[in-house]
């Protein structure tokens, strides 16, 4: 691999700039340190409230309860942000496929062994999120890691799946989340409020869909282009002649 | 008492190494080195989250922060080096 260096940093800025920046940074660090030191040592926070109501949330892991029930709006928006990021990457036209004819046999062997384990582990993280550390984002990231391994081995998504099917899975998490959130609005509840007796199942359903969407989105971000666009038709962005 | 002081020493060491790694990552002129340092930073950060009793955040940091972001950076660097190589070759042809 060729070494790429940041040319912009090779010229040192003037003493005045460095001094000014140094003073500003020192002031920032000092105010941050002051803020941290003046924090109350015995903060009440909302953890008592969370612990008190965790039985109503449908899960016993307080983190999952916060992410998928009390503050599920944040998680919903996170899914939206991830999807938007992918749209952004795709709309740039994508990079030309990195055709490497050489596939490392060790990597090939290892990923045949590891990808099923990753998928299994992703399912485990999703399931365990209800009562122990885990959850949709972690499970999705492990799923995406399986995808990255496959892409490193020149694996390609079959063309018949790269159109509608791929897009369906990509938006599934967000659509299901919004649909369930709005569904109960018609049953005299507020947006994203679940009835306590159904909450556990609903959270698992949303998390399962979100895991799929997150995993496929992150893997697609690694690929860096829309797989339904022909990879050999190089899109010239016009940046270089 | 002995055990607490050892853990405290470990925490201080992790904290200092994190700051040092962050500085090295930001000030490195070689982008490949910066990415490797960034991944190391992410993994150590995950350890710090575990020490702060936040295993959920630690999991997310290790998988997304260190693993996937690192892979994304490396693939971007490969694309970048391929495109600058192409540009250099084109410049060479133009100059000759």
Please give the C-alpha separations between residue A25 and each of A1, A28, A30, A112, B15, in angstroms, as whole numbers.
35, 5, 8, 49, 19
- Is A18 among the domain residues? no
pLDDT at B14 over 70: yes
Assess A4–B contact: CB distance below 8 Å, yes or no: yes
Contacts B82 to A, Cβ<8 Å: 98
Of the candidates B32, B64, B68, the beta carbon closest to that of A1 is on B32
Distance from CA of B3 to the nearest CA of A (A): 23
Cα–Cα dist B19/B3, whole Å: 25
Q: How confident is the model at residue B21 (pLDDT cuts 50, 70, 90)?
A: very high
Assess A137–B contact: CB distance below 8 Å, yes or no: yes
pLDDT at residue A241 in the model: 37
Structure tokens at A205: 């359903």
Task: Return the percentage of chain A with pLDDT > 90, whole number.
Answer: 35
pLDDT at residue B1 in the model: 58
- Is A213 among the domain residues? yes
Contacts B53 to A, Cβ<8 Å: none
H/E segment holding residue B96: none
**Which residue's entry shows tokens 């109501």?**
A53
* Residue ranges in chain A modelled with pLDDT below 50: 1, 233-241
pLDDT at residue A188 in the model: 78
pLDDT at residue A98 in the model: 57
Q: Which of B22, B56, B65 to mutate to test the interface with A (most CBs of A within 10 A)?
A: B56
Between vectors from CA A116 to CA A114 and to CA A119, what angle results, nearest 5°?
A: 110
- Is A167 among the domain residues? yes
Assess B22–A contact: CB distance below 8 Å, yes or no: no
Question: In degrees rounded to 5, what are phi and psi of residue A5?
Answer: -115, 150
- Is A56 among the domain residues? no
Distance from CA of A186 to the nearest CA of B (A): 34
- Tell me which chain B residue has its CA closest to the CA of residue A222: B72
Of the candidates B56, B67, B77, the beta carbon closest to that of A4 is on B77
Our CA dihedral for A221, A226, A232, A234, rounded to 10 degrees, sits at: -80
Q: Which domain holds residue A187?
A: 61-223
- Is A135 among the domain residues? yes
Environment class of A207 (CB within 10 Å of its CB; exposed 0-12, middle 13-18, buried 19+): buried
- Is A235 among the domain residues? no
Give the tens place of pLDDT for each residue, A47-73.
788 888 887 787 888 888 888 888 888
Cβ-defined contact of A4 to B78 (cutoff 8 Å) = no
Total residue count of chain A as it appears in this document:
241
pLDDT at residue A169 in the model: 92
**Domain boundary assignment for chain B:** 2-95
Chain A with chain B: Cβ pairs closer than 8 A: 70
pLDDT at B3 over 50: yes
Q: How many domains does chain A have?
A: 1
- Is A51 among the domain residues? no
Mean pLDDT in chain B?
Answer: 88
- Is A92 among the domain residues? yes
Distance from CA of B40 to the nearest CA of A (A): 17
């Amino acid at each position: 691999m060729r070494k790429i260096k940041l040319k912009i940093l090779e010229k040192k800025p003037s003493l005045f700039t460095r001094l000014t920046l140094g003073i500003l940074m020192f002031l920032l660090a000092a105010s941050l340190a002051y803020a941290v030191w003046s924090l109350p040592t015995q903060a009440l926070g909302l953890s008592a409230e969370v612990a008190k109501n965790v039985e109503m949330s449908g899960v016993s892991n307080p983190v999952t309860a916060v992410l998928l029930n009390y503050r599920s709006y944040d998680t919903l928006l996170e899914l939206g942000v991830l999807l938007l990021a992918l749209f952004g990457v795709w709309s740039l036209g994508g990079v030309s496929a990195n055709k490497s004819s050489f596939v490392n046999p060790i990597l090939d062997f290892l990923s045949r062994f590891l990808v099923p384990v990753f998928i299994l582990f992703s399912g485990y993280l999703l399931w365990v999120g209800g009562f122990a550390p885990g959850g949709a984002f972690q499970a999705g990231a492990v799923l995406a890691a399986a995808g990255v391994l496959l892409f490193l081995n020149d694996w390609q998504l079959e063309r018949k799946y790269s159109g509608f099917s791929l897009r369906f899975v990509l938006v599934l998490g967000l659509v299901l989340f919004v649909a369930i959130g709005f569904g109960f609005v018609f049953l005299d509840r507020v947006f994203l409020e679940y009835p306590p007796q159904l909450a556990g199942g609903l959270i698992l359903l949303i998390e399962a869909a979100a895991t799929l969407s997150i995993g496929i989105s992150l893997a697609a971000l690694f690929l860096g282009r829309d797989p339904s666009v022909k990879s050999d038709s190089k899109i010239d962005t016009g940046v270089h002649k | 008492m002995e055990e607490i002081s050892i853990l405290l020493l470990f925490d201080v060491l992790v904290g200092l190494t994190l700051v040092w790694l962050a500085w090295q990552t930001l000030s490195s002129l070689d982008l490949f080195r910066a990415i490797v340092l960034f991944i190391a930073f992410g993994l150590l950060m995950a350890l710090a989250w575990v020490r702060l009793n936040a295993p959920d955040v630690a999991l997310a940091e290790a998988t997304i922060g260190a693993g996937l972001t690192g892979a994304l950076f490396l693939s971007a660097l490969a694309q970048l080096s391929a495109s600058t190589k192409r540009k250099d070759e084109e410049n060479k042809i133009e100059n000759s």
